Amino acid sequence: MVPLFAQQALWGGQDIVSPEIHSDNSVTFRVYAPEAQKIQVTGDFLPPREIDTQVGKTEGPGVADLLKGSNGVWEYKTAAPLSPELYSYSLIVDGVKTTDPNNVYMIRDVATVQNVFMIGGGRGDLYKTNKVPHGTVARRWYSSPTLKMERRLTVYTPPGYESGNKRYPVFYLLHGMGGDEEAWIALGRTAQIMDNLIAQGKASPMIVVMTNGNAVQEAAPGESSLNFYKPTFQLPKTMEGSMEQSFPDVVNFIDNSYRTVKSKQGRAIAGLSMGGFHSLHISKQYPDMFDYVGLFSAAIMPGKDVKSPVYSNMEEKLKVQFEKKPKLYWIGIGKTDFLYQANTDYRKMLDARNYKYVYYESEGGHIWRNWRIYLSEFAPLLFK
């Protein structure tokens, strides 16, 4: 008797391993496409290439050709072993970018879905789910009186939170343009990094709050009352003051909903790109709210046509903030990031006023690989 299965997804898959990670950490990609004329792979494991974006030239993932075999299977093997890291990639079949049909592991980044794979060892082990105590990740809805809407955020609570009565410090971690409250959990591997750092004794147990920095949105695409629609970078109310002005609503919700350390000494804020911009301006707007500030590949100044009291009197607000002596002001940037010069100019301004900060410079550009590094470097410095 032949058993019948209800899962329609059981049928139609290719019996091919791709990507195949070899013992020396080289990787082979395969796809069965006998009628295709040209297949390429593009991903952040390849040497980068310069691309044009809406915000200027920056580094983008490289491209490599797959070779077609007599059996209709196309293959590409990396020329050298890959370093430990979480990598993302896509296939390009006859000019059309698509996902690998043999790899079920995918992550959405704004409006793009890419496959991912992991090379373990070294820093890459921080990004893995290891046999350590695990925290809890929850999606919570909160009321924002300032924005006049119900909004969604993601909260990581450390191992043991549910079973104890201890109060914990809070780290607010903000995404970049086009992202949302899912970005740091999915692309940033926040839960894995925090679990592993806490288990190793390198980071203090803390609550991590990942907000939606797009003040016009209730929640991530597909998770709001708008339901399914195509995500886009082109969102209003992102870097014009609304996020900064409404941020106390987030802090109030977290302090009223969780066992937190309700003081400046018990709060940190950091973000990448647009989230770094928000972190910079939120922390100076509310100088008694955060003792730890992190700018990851941060945008620095608002657009020339942006008018908001949040961005006025910047030098005076920074003076007040630094006179209150934050315990940590941390700046990280990649050497080829398109925001490198803006960060250099900002650091020169801080240096001229003798404002103390920690600087971390990495290889590469405006990429998640750097932001995971910055998180793994920044988090151990908090709440010591």
> 257 CB contacts (<8 Å, ≥6 apart)?
140, 142
Residue 101 banded pLDDT, cuts 50, 70, 90: very high
As a whole number of angstroms, the distance between CA 183 and CA 174 comes to 9
Intervals of CATH 2.60.40.10 along the chain: 16-120
Number of helices (H) and strands (E) in the chain: give both, helices first.
7, 20
The answer to whether 99 touches 91, Cβ cutoff 8 Å, is yes
As a whole number of angstroms, the distance between CA 344 and CA 340 comes to 6
The pLDDT assigned to 43 comes to: 96
Residue 1 banded pLDDT, cuts 50, 70, 90: very low
Using DSSP, state whether 246 is helix, strand or coil. Answer: helix
The pLDDT assigned to 9 comes to: 44
Using DSSP, state whether 84 is helix, strand or coil. Answer: coil
As a whole number of angstroms, the distance between CA 281 and CA 66 comes to 46
Side-chain-side CA neighbours of 133 within 13 Å: the count stands at: 14
Please tell me the pTM assigned to this model.
0.93
Mean per-residue pLDDT, 160-177:
97
Q: Homologous superfamily of 127-381 in CATH? A: Alpha/Beta hydrolase fold, catalytic domain (3.40.50.1820)
Side-chain-side CA neighbours of 124 within 13 Å: the count stands at: 13
> 154 CB contacts (<8 Å, ≥6 apart)?
137, 138, 139, 140, 181, 182, 184, 185, 209, 210
As a whole number of angstroms, the distance between CA 90 and CA 31 comes to 12
Structure tokens given for 257 = 């909903």
Give percent of the chain above pLDDT 90.
89
As a whole number of angstroms, the distance between CA 235 and CA 295 comes to 22
Mean per-residue pLDDT, 112-120:
96
Is the pLDDT at 59 greater than 80? The verdict is: no
Is the pLDDT at 8 greater than 50? The verdict is: no
Is the pLDDT at 52 greater than 80? The verdict is: no
As a whole number of angstroms, the distance between CA 115 and CA 89 comes to 5
The pLDDT assigned to 285 comes to: 98
Q: Residues, the chain, total?
A: 384
Mean per-residue pLDDT, 186-215:
98
Structure tokens given for 258 = 């969780």
Is the pLDDT at 261 greater than 60? The verdict is: yes
Partner residues linked to 53 by β-bridges: 56
As a whole number of angstroms, the distance between CA 63 and CA 68 comes to 16
> Comparing C-alpha atoms, which of 383, 59, 368 is closest to residue 189?
368
Range 36-65 burial, b when 16+ CB lie within 10 A, else e: beebbbbbbbbeeeeeeeeeeebbbbeebe
Q: For 299-361, give the DSSP string.
A: --S--TT---GGGTTHHHHHHHHHHT--SEEEEEEETT-TTHHHHHHHHHHHHHTT---EEEE
Mean per-residue pLDDT, 124-137:
98
The pLDDT assigned to 69 comes to: 96
Q: Homologous superfamily of 16-120 in CATH? A: Immunoglobulins (2.60.40.10)
Least confident of 48-62, 98-112, 168-182: 48-62
Intervals of CATH 3.40.50.1820 along the chain: 127-381
Least confident of 15-19, 139-143, 289-293: 15-19
The pLDDT assigned to 116 comes to: 97
Is the pLDDT at 202 greater than 80? The verdict is: yes
Is the pLDDT at 11 greater than 70? The verdict is: no
Q: Which residues of the chain form beta strands (DSSP E)? A: 20-21, 27-32, 39-43, 49-53, 56-60, 62-65, 67-68, 73-77, 85-93, 96-98, 106-109, 112-119, 136-144, 149-157, 170-174, 207-210, 267-272, 292-296, 328-334, 358-362
The pLDDT assigned to 152 comes to: 98
* Helix, strand, coil fractions of the chain, as percent rounded to 5: 25, 30, 45
Give the chain's mean pLDDT: 94
Is the pLDDT at 5 greater than 50? The verdict is: no
Mean per-residue pLDDT, 302-317:
95
Q: Which is more confident, 56 or 27?
A: 27
As a whole number of angstroms, the distance between CA 251 and CA 291 comes to 14
Q: Which is more confident, 80 or 209?
A: 209
